[in-house]
């Protein structure tokens, strides 16, 4: 238990148990989490990251900050999220990642993604 941030440590431990994973790290914001995720991915200049055209700016800015190129895929009007059919067409040899976004309480269809 981390005594400097006991509530976060308890939350992380419960999140690990819930997800059945050995490590979880709570962040102060979604933007920070996205920035660190892009750093861990090790994006190289020109690497492409596919995401949805209906999202918050940090979905794109954190990719650009690491030298990556955001590739926007249109939404499915039924879910307002990334359209899996169009996602497949956007994949290239430079694709390094995909950022699905669950917006307005409607989950992105993750099985199809
Ligand atoms: C899809 C998405 N990503 C990131 C953010 C940014 O979140 P935060 O303010 O926690 O950095 C938002 C905020 O609305 C969001 O909708």
pLDDT given for residue 2 in this prediction: 65
Q: Is the pTM of this model over 0.75?
A: yes
Q: Ligand 1 pocket: which residues have CB below 6 Å?
A: 29-31, 55-56, 58-59, 101
Other C-beta atoms within 10 Å of 81: how many?
23
Q: Determine the pLDDT at residue 100.
A: 95
Both tokens of residue 57? 């700016």
DSSP 74: P
SS3 state at 19: helix
What is the rounded CA–CA span in Å between residue 86 and residue 90? Answer: 6
Torsion, CA 107, CA 72, CA 36, CA 93, rounded to 10: 110
Q: Calculate how far, in angstroms, residue 92's C-alpha sits from the geometric centre of ligand 1.
A: 27
Ligand 1 pocket test target in 58, 82, 101, 103 with most atoms within 8 Å of CB = 58
Ligand 1 center to 95 CA (angstroms):
23
Picking from 57, 2, 67, the residue whose alpha carbon sits closest to that of residue 30 is 57
Ligand 1 centre distance from Cα of residue 31 (Å): 6
Q: How far away, in angstroms, is 26 Cα from ligand 1 center?
A: 15
Question: In whole angstroms, what is the distance from residue 37 CA to residue 108 CA?
Answer: 19
pLDDT digits (tens, 9 = 90+) for 31-81: 999 999 999 999 999 999 999 999 999 999 999 999 999 999 999 999 999
**In the chain, what percentage of residues exceed pLDDT 70?**
98
Domain ranges of the chain: 30-99
Mean pLDDT over 9-35 rounds to 95
**CA atoms of 112 and 55, how far apart (whole Å):** 19
């Amino acid at each position: 238990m981390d005594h400097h941030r006991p509530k976060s440590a308890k939350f992380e431990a419960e999140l690990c148990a819930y997800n059945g994973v050995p490590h979880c790290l709570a962040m102060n914001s979604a933007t920070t989490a996205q920035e660190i995720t892009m750093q861990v991915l090790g994006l190289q200049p020109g690497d492409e990251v596919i995401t949805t055209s209906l999202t918050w700016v940090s979905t794109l800015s954190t990719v650009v900050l690491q030298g990556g190129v955001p590739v926007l895929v249109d939404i499915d009007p039924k879910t307002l999220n990334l359209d899996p059919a169009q996602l497949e067409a956007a994949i290239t040899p430079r694709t390094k990642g995909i950022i699905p976004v669950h917006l307005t309480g409607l989950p992105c269809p993750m099985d199809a993604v």
